[in-house]
Amino acid sequence: MTPPMPTSPLIPDLAEQAPPGPLLLAFSGGLDSSLLLQLLVEAGLGPRLRVVHINHQLQPDSANWAAHCEQRVAGLALPFRVVTVTVDTDKGIEAGARQARYQALFADARHDGATVITAHHRDDQAETLLLRLLRGAGVQGLAAMGALDHRQGTTLWRPLLDLPRSALERSARERGLQWQEDPSNQDQRLRRNYLRHSILPALRQRWRGADEILARTARHMSDASELLDERAQEDADACGVSGQRFPLAGLAALRPARQRNLLRWWLHRQGASAPSAAVLAELLALQDAAEDSQARVEWGHWAVRLFRGALYLLPRKALAPWQGTLSWPQGAPPPSLPFWQLSPTAGEGAISLMRPPGDLTLRPFTGGTRLLRNGMHQRIKELWRAAGVPPWQRHQWPLVYRGETLVSVPLVGVADGEEADQCEEWFLLPHCR
């Protein structure tokens, strides 16, 4: 049964706050997300809204939770689906669950350009600030959560961020809502729960308005973070930083604090996890490495490689060479590659690949491979080196064969004897992010 409509909305301007376009609510079935779901419907945002429940498979009753969520959303006639994820617990259950959850939400949102909505509130903000403070986070980290953030090309909206949990619970009871309580929220072996149940109550008892004070601190840090980002953008433009490539030539002219700020900004903009102070020091030390050393720094799932005086950021898995042979018959769609995709249209980072007619195969590059071009058997390695292709990419781009004859090479062109006007132009686009 639909809960009764209250006489006054908790957030009067909720519809006006909403970003344009489709909306995707992360729905756990707990108090916070249950209330937010109701508020979004009350605000008239239902026609733009769909709901996703992330099943982390961490509780024996997780299937029943998913069923509860489905039943609740069904009563509101909204699109709903359950996404089951596998949590990597190497860095702890909390961090692993958070990473798996956001990866699933962002992947879902990208299908239709939806804004992801979460039910974080002011108490969550206080916990997040303290956790990051205890991890030694910098200004950007202490900005904690923003009401409107942008990650991995997706907008993230937190409309409840300025409201205390007590107000949410009161409003939910007024509406007659029912919700689920996650038993793991009482487990004080988890750091956030320890702060929630042991530390924050003591702070509130000693300092009246502690949550608001911490939230205000986060807002101050957010303002400072914006200023640092503006400075970083100016420095990035001056140094020629673009996308995954970070030229080192201009970095030495900056003071050390600005060097660190620029590197952190660049990594964040590219979606990499925040580096520790030790990792950041290793990255700065790459300025002193030989230009052809192919030095690298790795942390988490990420790696930075040095090549020809520039840093390149990429997932660690993207350093692996491609292996195998793929068939590409005439008239068929292109086969799927592990790190790059073949597209008929260009995009950011696109590499041209000419497709001659006929049934073809795609094979990986080997060091001695040669292409008959301009009457000479030219080594692919030298052609790509001259074009500035990074070494790891050389082992990921496919070479195109007809039978046992190499007929086309990405970025280079077709072999002698192939008519360019009979070839189709395709593009290699990176998709390992």
| Helices marked H in 43-161 | 62-74, 93-110, 122-134, 139-142
C-alpha 168/C-alpha 122 separation (Å) is: 10
**Chain position carrying tokens 């692996």:** 320
Token pair of 120 as six digits:
């974080």
> What is the phi-psi region of residue 379: left when phi exceeds 0, alpha when psi lies from -120 to 50, beta otherwise?
beta
Question: How close are the terminal C-alpha atoms of the chain, in Å?
Answer: 43
- 423, 354 Cβ separation under 8 angstroms: yes
C-alpha 353/C-alpha 427 separation (Å) is: 6
List 360's β-bridge partners, or say none.
328
The Cα-based distances of 351 to 196, 222, 347 in angstroms read: 51, 38, 9
- Counting other chains too, the contacts that 338-342 makes at CB distance below 8 Å and 24 or more residues apart are 338/396, 338/432, 339/396, 339/430, 339/431, 339/432, 340/396, 340/397, 340/398, 340/428, 340/429, 340/430, 340/431, 340/432, 341/428, 341/429, 341/431, 342/426, 342/427, 342/428, 342/429
- 6, 175 Cβ separation under 8 angstroms: yes
- Let me know the angle formed at the C-alpha of 197 by 194 and 200, rounded to the nearest 5 degrees: 90
**pTM for the structure as a whole:** 0.72
State phi, psi for 423 to the nearest 5 degrees: -95, 150
Relative to beta strand 115-117, strand 23-26 is parallel
List 306's β-bridge partners, or say none.
311
Give the torsion sign (CA, 253, 306, 236, 274): negative
Nearest to 285 by CA among 308, 265, 316, 263: 263
**Chain position carrying tokens 């996890």:** 273
Topology (CATH) of 242-319: 3.30.465
Q: What is the pLDDT of residue 58?
A: 75
Architecture of domain 14-215: 3-Layer(aba) Sandwich (3.40)
Token pair of 31 as six digits:
């108090």
Q: What is the pLDDT of residue 432?
A: 52
Q: What is the pLDDT of residue 137?
A: 80
The ranges assigned to domains in the chain are: 14-215, 242-319, 326-430
Q: Which residues of the chain register pLDDT less than 50? A: 1, 7, 433
